[in-house]
Amino acid sequence: MNLAELRKKAEMEFSANGFPTTREELWRFSDVSPVANAVFSNDWKPSELEFQSLEGSLVVVFENGKLSREKSNLGNLPEGVRIGSILDFPDPRIGSLAGTQSAFVAANTARFSDGLWIEVDDGVQLETPIHLIHLADLDGAAFHLRNFISVGENASATLVEEYVGEPFYWTNTVTECFVADRGLLDRYKIQRESPSAFHFQTLEARLGAEAVFSNHAVTLGSRLGRDDIRAKLAGRGGEAICNGLYLLNGKQHFDTHLFVDHAVPECNSHELYKGILDEKAHAVFCGRILVRQDAQQTDAVQSNRNLLLSRGAKVNTLPQLEIYADDVKCTHGATIGELDEQALYYLQTRGIDPVQGQAMLTGAFANEVLDEIRCAPFKAYAEERVRTWLEGVAK
């Protein structure tokens, strides 16, 4: 099936099935009817939002769903690295990971307007991070962005995706990543969408033998959103790392669904997800690890920890381990707790006021995730955004 046929099929499936409802198991804690019931335009205009690219990065700017060549910095790419619009590079692998079963993926496949395409050739180490920024400022619009990343054998790359905007819109992105044998892809996402926007992303990654894929999602924005992250360990000795930090307040609802598929032996996966929720925010975390019968010597660790700062905040956390191999090491843990009053009092007896004390304690809680970020400029940027958020809720 070529891309045109795939898009037609996706449109038909999306028209026939529509959006999921809370009667479906995968969606039972996330009601997407606000998205389903809204009417979105397909207009376009350039964005007026300011942006700042990460220091030393190759910045690729999308404005209201379309690549801006003027605002991007793709002039001097190293040899063996190609970056551009997905419309110019219709890779036959597009859609091969994401399929069209999910309504959001189907809608994206049918309607994507543009997206980032990256190919890093075998043996090429791209040291410079690629910084994708999506600027959204078209009220009432839907943005279907489709990204495709291919990292060759013994190659490496770092991708940062940033989503930002105002006031009301729907971002619906799909990113498919192929990491070939012994390849390395570090991917980061910072989601700073408008507090009234919808943000949905499906991330699909397929790892070859001894390949490493690490994903770090920092979520601060959107009224209603979800990350579907699916990593398939398809080659012996691969490693998948999926970390995340969600900071939610007001009536924000954010859902993370992870799925790590151990299909072959001797692979590792690590997942550390932490959340801090204030006011009436609601988080959902579902972490599914599938260890297939052949996947002996699997080492899988999953942890989801949540800190609730108010009585109105809520978390549903659902670890799901499905293990069919008999020689594996799998652990998981999930906690939901409150700020440690004893620790806060202890800080206070040393002269630290409760506002600063809370920011210090929540900062310490968040740092465990941020400390895992290997891309230094992104780490500094994420830390600053997180600190600002934490100081804001401590007041």
Residues lying near another protein in the complex (CB under 8 A) are found at 340, 342-343, 345-354, 356-357, 360-361, 363-365, 367-368
Distance CA 364, CA 205 (A): 30
Cβ proximity to another protein, 184 vs 382, nearer residue: 382
Q: Collapsing DSSP states into helix, strand and coil, what is residue 370?
A: helix
Q: How far is the CB of 339 from another protein (least distance, A)?
A: 12
Q: How far is the CB of 276 from another protein (least distance, A)?
A: 13
Cβ proximity to another protein, 297 vs 367, nearer residue: 367
Q: How far is the CB of 395 from another protein (least distance, A)?
A: 15
Please classify residue 98 by burial: count the beta carbons closer than 10 Å to its beta carbon, then call 0-12 exposed, 13-18 middle and 19+ buried.
buried
The crossing angle, in degrees rounded to 10, of helices 376-394 and 354-370 is 150
Distance CA 17, CA 249 (A): 32
CB atoms within 10 A of CB 83: 22
Cβ proximity to another protein, 130 vs 361, nearer residue: 361
Cβ proximity to another protein, 28 vs 387, nearer residue: 387
Cβ proximity to another protein, 179 vs 272, nearer residue: 272
Dihedral sign for Cα atoms in the order 267, 296, 264, 25: negative
Region of 56 (left: φ > 0; alpha: ψ -120 to 50; beta: rest) is: left
Q: How far is the CB of 275 from another protein (least distance, A)?
A: 15
Distance CA 314, CA 319 (A): 16
Cβ proximity to another protein, 301 vs 352, nearer residue: 352
Q: How far is the CB of 109 from another protein (least distance, A)?
A: 42
Distance CA 26, CA 33 (A): 15
Q: How far is the CB of 244 from another protein (least distance, A)?
A: 17
Maximum alpha-carbon separation in the chain: 67
Backbone angles phi, psi at 233, to 5 degrees: -90, 100
Cβ proximity to another protein, 76 vs 349, nearer residue: 349
Q: How far is the CB of 368 from another protein (least distance, A)?
A: 6
Distance CA 213, CA 269 (A): 10
Element (H, E) at 105: helix 103-111
